[in-house]
Amino acid sequence: MQWRVLLGCVAWVSSAAGVTSEVDGQYLLNAETVVHAESTVGTYDRTVNTELSASLQSSGKEVSLEVRRDGHVCVLHGALTGNIVTFIQGQQCPQSIRGEGFQANLDGTLTSGSATLGAHNLTLTTKWDVRGTVKLGSISIPVTGTVSTVAVGPKT
């Protein structure tokens, strides 16, 4: 009788390990990001198409997704149910971005986010509230806004 329980436990652990290996992986995502920002000098609305790399790791139902673009990294934590990862709202993702003639120091707060796992791909959807400052020369301008991203791509 005890050997049946032991074999059942081994089968359960083996099946859980198989699910984890199917979930974990590297992805190359094509993203469409919609940016809306407001400041004392006006509004900024833009849609940006970019490429992101992502690394998904799971431990049971707990999942972390590391998203990278141009040296910037954001790690999101969530829970796996079936093939859907639901990310915990309120997570922060600070970014410091330098461009020609400006520097933006922004704090993003996740308002909603999920990832859908396909057989060989990942679809990532996030919405963020963003606050921070944009520095133009010696002038710092407070900004607020939203950023929404839909990214899709294959497992590599």
Instruction: Kindly report, residue by residue over 47-68, the tens digit of the pLDDT.
Output: 999 999 999 999 999 999 999 9
Quote the strand ranges of the chain, DSSP E. 25-39, 42-59, 62-69, 72-81, 84-87, 92-99, 102-117, 121-136, 139-154
- CA 33/CA 42 separation, integer angstroms: 20
Q: Please tell me which residue, 58 or 12, carries the higher pLDDT value.
A: 58
Residue 44's SS3 state is strand
- Domain range for residue 145? 24-154
pLDDT tens, position by position, 87-98: 999 999 999 888
69 located within any domain: yes
pTM: 0.82
CA angle 94, 98, 99 (to 5 degrees): 140
Say whether pLDDT at 21 is over 80. Answer: no
92 located within any domain: yes
pLDDT of residue 43: 96
Among candidate residues 104, 112, 47, the one with its CA nearest the CA of residue 76: 112
State how many domains the chain has.
Answer: 1
72 located within any domain: yes
133 located within any domain: yes
The mean pLDDT value for 76-96 works out to: 96
Say whether pLDDT at 5 is over 90. Answer: no
Residue with tokens 């032991």: 6
